[in-house]
Structure 1
Amino acid sequence: MPNPQFRLFDTHAHFFTNDIARYPADASGAREGRDVMMARLERDPATAERVLALWNACGVAGGAAVQYNTVYKTDNRYTIDVADAHHDRVSAVLILDAAAPETPEQLRALTGRHNVSGLRLFGYPDAAGEYPWLDSPAALKTWDVAAEMRLNMVVMYAPGAPSFAALRRVAALARRYPQTVIALDHCGWPGPHGGAAGTIGPEHLELVDVPNIHFKLTQINLNRFAESAIDPADFVRRMVETYGAGRLMWGSDLGNTKVSYAEMAEQAIAATQLLAEADRHRVLHDNGARLFGDRLGS
């Protein structure tokens, strides 16, 4: 049951459909295996109708449709169609190859025609352990267009562990584009090591004085803490004490994390229980709505 005291805004929901004739799926490289992913897509799709029904049941005012790399890679058609059809509730966060020569103009055109609030960059380190796809000369042309179009930049680097190599590049980009909000998926992978005191390590502390870097707290984080016997509420309190309540926002990871949506909402609310009430509202709703919902209804 929704908690009437708290409205939610979901900054990290993956939408996908079993209408593969209209929206072809490419599940190659899926963590659970291609065949398992395709069976799940057919059996339990996260369509707009299903997701919005869950939002209505759980007190979620709106959210961001984050392109699901596992199913669609850089084919953003379903994400865009969902956001356009439900522009009062959903904005689109696309995935494109930042270094591809066609991406800057493609991003400009898509943002001009559709209900787009952000661009998500996803990738792995190279052989030297570096992340040049974030800030190569070609990628910077995409960052220039994102800044021009006032888009949020969402960064998802892999594998899922704290990385000086990735986060120092992100910090440099944030300083280069001070008017652009950079949102780190899954909070940039804080490590559940050594109990609650170890969850915010030196890699993340370098971001304290970079105010346009924000953090998306998702179910992946909450699951990792549960597996490591870390109280998520302690982590959330430390994040707010470290960065301020204006830089942390909730996202469910719906469609990718096998926890019921009602449980995700309940766990998110519980994770903020050590915060002042005003800060709870910021983390659960206000920050996400400000960044990913400011164009809704337009």
Structure 2
Amino acid sequence: MDIVDAHCHIISADPARYPQAPIGGKQSQWAATRPVTAEGMIARMDETGIDQAVLVQATTNYGYDNSYVLDTTRAHPHRFVAVGTVDPLRPDAAASLKAAAGDGGLAGVRLFTSGSTVPTQGEWFVAPETFPFWEQAAALDLPVCLQMRLGPATGQLVELLERFPHVKILLDHIGYPDIANSPAKAGQDVAALGVHPGLHLKLTHRNLERLDDAGQNATDFLTPVLDAFGAGRIAWGSNLPAAEQSLPELRTLAEEILTDLPETDQQEIFAGTARRLYPRLTQA
């Protein structure tokens, strides 16, 4: 099967060349305890039968300094594309985004509004100061990965999708829906967002582990979400090495959860969606 890992991270073994500058001033535990270099990621991909991957900026290690993912993708253009980070609240955010995407630069951008080192969900991503950033992302047809938690901030996400319908937004970890509490309720909540054509979902171990725990009830989540979005708006990502499992284990987990889907749907989730969002992968 053709597989693209739509979400993995790399950490350089050379901190002098690529110094730490984590958003919030705190390095994530996984970056400190189980980092994977670019060369290590290639080795793991080869072991797992994955030809290409999307390197998502390790925001909790490098912040807004995209040097390592950019240097890596330029050194290995047939294996990787880079999704970097910019500060959309800066007055020069639109210009910075355009410059970062030019000349074989970023293939996408990520906004980190909540996560392991940012426990409070930020709602600044729809502030008026960010509008030039979103307009530039639409003009460049540049996908924006949004790391956020559904819940109180879902209203801001809907406002964003309605204000900028032409921006392709990829919701990291599907916004952490509460599958453990109720797969059916979580599925309904996510499916309700499917009316927004620009919204795409990134399916990772953070969802797949909960679906595995749910057993037969996993379909209560998957069925409404697939009905609302279609497989063509869902992309699988390993989240290695933030995920503790090995890459082969993460691939197997995804394949087991999705095994009952039609082969065409599986192909979309494992590669097709990512290749459309990041055309440079198709060209590689």
- TM score, norm. by length of structure 1: 0.84
Residue 96 (structure 1) aligned to one of 83, 86, 89: 86
Spell out, residue by residue over 1:136-178, the C-alpha distance to the aligned partner (whole angstroms, 9 max, x if none): 1221111111111110011012xx4x31x42232223223333
1:1-298 mapped onto 2 (5 Å cutoff) = 6-26=1-21, 28-32=25-29, 37-38=31-32, 40=33, 44-124=34-114, 131-157=122-148, 160=149, 162-163=150-151, 165-202=152-189, 204-226=190-212, 228-230=213-215, 234=219, 235-294=221-280, 297=283
SS of aligned partner of 1:146: helix
Instruction: Give the CA deviation at 1:61.
Output: 2.6
Instruction: Give the CA deviation at 1:196.
Output: 2.9
Instruction: Go from structure 1 to structure 2 and tell me whether the alpha carbon gap of 1:210 and 1:276 turns closer, same or farther (over 3 Å shift).
Output: same
Instruction: Give the CA deviation at 1:124.
Output: 4.4
In structure 2, distance between residues paired with 1:166 and 1:119:
20
Spell out, residue by residue over 1:174-211, the C-alpha distance to the aligned partner (whole angstroms, 9 max, x if none): 23333321100001111124443233243x24312112
Q: Which has the higher helix share?
A: 2
8 Å contact from structure 2 (residues 111, 144) kept in 1: yes
In structure 1, distance between residues paired with 2:12 and 2:27:
16
In structure 2, distance between residues paired with 1:269 and 1:8:
11
Report the number of matched residues. Answer: 277
Instruction: Give the CA deviation at 1:245.
Output: 1.5
Instruction: Give the CA deviation at 1:220.
Output: 1.7
In structure 2, distance between residues paired with 1:120 and 1:288:
15
Tell me which amino acid in the other structure corresponds to 2:92: E
In structure 2, distance between residues paired with 1:31 and 1:52:
22
For the aligned residue pairs, the C-alpha RMSD in angstroms reads 2.4
SS of aligned partner of 2:131: helix
> % of aligned pairs identical?
29
Instruction: Go from structure 1 to structure 2 and tell me whether the alpha carbon gap of 1:232 and 1:150 turns closer, same or farther (over 3 Å shift).
Output: farther
Gaps of 5+ in 2: none
In structure 2, distance between residues paired with 1:232 and 1:280:
19
Instruction: Go from structure 1 to structure 2 and tell me whether the alpha carbon gap of 1:144 and 1:221 turns closer, same or farther (over 3 Å shift).
Output: same
In structure 2, distance between residues paired with 1:285 and 1:45:
25
